Amino acid sequence: MSLESTTEGLRAKASTSPPLGHTVRFDLGADGSIFWDGTGATAVVNNESKDAECTLILSLTDLEAMSSGGLDPTMAYMTGRLKIDGAMGVAMKIGQVLGG
């Protein structure tokens, strides 16, 4: 998969999920980043690298695995494959959206 297809997949999840009410950035290292602005009535998901309430630092491969249900977000965090910078509560909300 690619950054573009992963971004589109997150955009689809955002459109079918309840409003997040927060901003999240997925820092994917050399692969780029995905920014999720869930503060408005309609979520905006794009590849901008903006400041967010919570930044999730992981590989593109691990994000794809979490999005498809192949990697549990809690397990990824506990094993060091996912690092969180910012609000832990926001990270937990995103984990529920990705796992759902």
Question: Which pLDDT band holds residue 57 (cuts at 50, 70, 90)?
Answer: very high
pLDDT tens-digit profile of 36-51?
Answer: 999 998 999 999 999 9
- What pLDDT is stored for residue 100 in this prediction? 54
Q: How many distinct structural domains can be found in the chain?
A: 1
- What pLDDT is stored for residue 97 in this prediction? 86
Mapped onto helix, strand or coil, the DSSP state of residue 54 is strand
Q: Which residues pair with 44 in a beta bridge?
A: 37
Helices (H), the chain: 3-16, 60-68, 73-78, 88-99
The pTM (predicted TM-score) of the whole model is: 0.93
Q: Tell me, what CATH number does 89's domain have?
A: 3.30.1050.10
Mean pLDDT in residue range 63-89: 93
- In Å, how far from its chain's centre is CA 29? 13
Mapped onto helix, strand or coil, the DSSP state of residue 34 is strand
Query: What secondary structure letter does DSSP report for 48?
Result: -
Q: Which residues lie closer than 8 Å to 76 by C-beta, 6 or more apart? A: 58, 62, 66, 82
Cα torsion 59, 2, 64, 24: sign: positive
Residue-range definition of the domain harbouring residue 33: 3-99
Could you tell me the two tokens for 27?
Answer: 């820092």
